[in-house]
Amino acid sequence: MNENQSILQTDSGRQLRKGKQIGLGGQAIINEATDLRSGEVGVIKIFNADFDRSVLAQRIRFLINLKLGSRCSALVAPTDSITTPDRVGHYSRFVPGHNLSAEFENPSFDFYQGLQIALCVARLVEAVHSAGIAHGDINSGNFCLVRKGDHFEVCAIDFDNYVATGALDPFMIGHKAYMSPGLRQAAELKQHALPTVQSDRYSLAVILHELLLHCHPGLAKGDTKEGLKQTMADWFYDPLYFGRHGRLDGHRSPFVLDEALCRLFRRGISHHVRERPSATEWVVALSSALGRVDLCDVCGYPSILDSSKIDCPVDRHAYPALKLVVGSTGKTIAISQKQVDVGRDDLCGSPKVSRHHATVRRLGPAVLLESVGLNGTCRWNGSDWLKIPDDRPVLVRENEWLRFADVQVMVTR
């Protein structure tokens, strides 16, 4: 096969028409390609001639045989190999949209959408690790975003630096700005080192930090070599030590995070390898946080509510102390940060209300309610009563009307 011609053939016999160049990196040249039989648009990646051709070919075949795309369609790994007299490459499907690094330059997503994207990224890394491999190059350029209405779909790409049992070693060890302290030190000392699941976990914490706080954790003390080393060995923005600066230039205050996510960042951006949280731990924490996003009524700033939020994390104004008021009698049920049980005795003795009907507790400027009563709890949406799911905590706000079985109650201050 003559690579200078516009038609390429993969090792499985697929005929491809080479299109425009869409990428050029330290390892390879990337072009669009069209399958002449199916019309499918894909991507071909031809590696530079200075890499060992035999090793590349074996690593590509190993990666294809892993069939990552069958585990999760958002893992965009090679599906075919390309061998020329002097070069080796591979073919994969084309992903529209743009990568996260481009998005970070001019973010178009809000805080809630950032949480959703972060959850998708964590799930993708979870899928890779469950396949028994380390991605080896987790960075913002290797996740693609496709906007679908008011949300984004996320794909993981570029698995060329993967590490797996039985596979030959990769030639590269990842992106410097996302590299774990151990890998970074080995690179500086020109020592042999390989990415691992644990180094992936560090890189994942860095990219999630960019998504949630709109800043890279290594930029706290500028972009000097020593500054990067210092700030990326521990979490500089840890609210336990970080001064309250309100709105920080160009990024969000770490105080908008909940305690669970802070604990994960504390462990994740650390030189303590064994403490780094797994992708699954991030999935659990991010999934939980999505249900507790609040926009401050005063300043409009977003945050994730939890028991630590007693005032606005940005403007420091106090949140209101809320209570429940029974509509028919005016009876008041006080709410505190400790769990309060609400039942028949609290709600006028109605026989339709269970003896233990719900639990409530204060959560920032809202109330966290969990309905457990036999006849359920509803909330008024302005035109109808909608049942609150049982055994699942939900946030209710000031001036909302609730109905515990047949007793109406208002949330007020």
DSSP line for 2-34: -TTSSEEE-TT--EEEEEEEEEE-SSEEEEEEE
How many Cβ atoms from other residues are within 10 Å of residue 275's Cβ?
12
Determine the structural domain holding residue 261 and report its residue range: 98-304
Q: Is residue 391 part of a domain?
A: yes
Task: Tell me which residue of 134, 92, 113, 88 sits closest to 279, measured CA to CA.
Answer: 134
Total structural domains in the chain? 3
Q: What pLDDT, on the 0 to 100 scale, is given for residue 226?
A: 62
Tokens of 94: 């084309």
61/165 same-domain check? no
89/103 same-domain check? no
188, burial (CB in 10 Å: exposed 0-12, middle 13-18, buried 19+): exposed
51/107 same-domain check? no
Task: Summarize pLDDT for 355-398 with one digit per residue, the tens.
Answer: 999 999 998 889 999 999 999 999 999 999 999 999 788 999 89
145/239 same-domain check? yes
Q: Is residue 261 part of a domain?
A: yes
What interhelical angle do 111-130 and 197-213 show, nearest 10? 170
Task: Summarize pLDDT for 291-317 with one digit per residue, the tens.
Answer: 899 888 888 889 999 888 888 888 888
Quote the mean pLDDT of the chain: 90
Q: Which residues contact 212 (CB under 8 A, 6 or more apart)?
A: 111, 114, 115, 118, 252, 257, 261
Q: Percent of the chain beyond pLDDT 70?
A: 93
List helix spans (H) across 217-307.
Answer: 225-231, 259-268, 279-290
279/353 same-domain check? no
pTM of the model: 0.88
What CA–CA distance (Å, rounded) separates 251 from 107? 11
Domain boundary among 93, 117, 150: 93
Q: Is residue 1 part of a domain?
A: no
* Domain at 370, CATH number: 2.60.200.20
Beta bridge partners, 18, equal 33
Tokens of 285: 């924490």
175, burial (CB in 10 Å: exposed 0-12, middle 13-18, buried 19+): middle
288/360 same-domain check? no
Q: Is residue 317 part of a domain?
A: no
* Domain at 164, CATH number: 1.10.510.10
246/197 same-domain check? yes
Q: What pLDDT, on the 0 to 100 scale, is given for residue 2?
A: 43
37/87 same-domain check? yes
**Cα Dmax for the chain:** 87
155/76 same-domain check? no
pLDDT at 11 over 50: yes
3-state SS class at 202: helix
Q: Is residue 313 part of a domain?
A: no
271/342 same-domain check? no
* Domain at 15, CATH number: 3.30.200.20
290/379 same-domain check? no
105, burial (CB in 10 Å: exposed 0-12, middle 13-18, buried 19+): exposed
Is residue 33 within 8 Å of residue 91, measured between CB atoms?
A: yes
Tokens of 23: 């990428």
What CA–CA distance (Å, rounded) separates 175 from 187? 11
Domain boundary among 54, 76, 93: 93
- What's the whole-number mean pLDDT along residues 308-329? 88
Give the pairing of strands 358-363 and 340-342: antiparallel
Task: Summarize pLDDT for 42-95 with one digit per residue, the tens.
Answer: 999 999 888 899 999 999 999 999 999 999 999 999 999 999 887 899 999 999
The vertex-278 CA angle with 264 and 192, nearest 5°, equals: 110
How many Cβ atoms from other residues are within 10 Å of residue 374's Cβ?
11
Q: Is residue 318 part of a domain?
A: no
Length in residues, the chain:
413
**Nearest 10 degrees: Cα torsion 99, 209, 151, 104:** -40
68/188 same-domain check? no
Domain boundary among 304, 337, 359: 304
Q: Is residue 2 part of a domain?
A: no
Q: Is residue 43 part of a domain?
A: yes
b/e map of 72-104 (b: 16 or more CB within 10 Å)?
bebbbbbbbbbbeeebbbbbbbebeeebbbebb
How many Cβ atoms from other residues are within 10 Å of residue 215's Cβ?
18
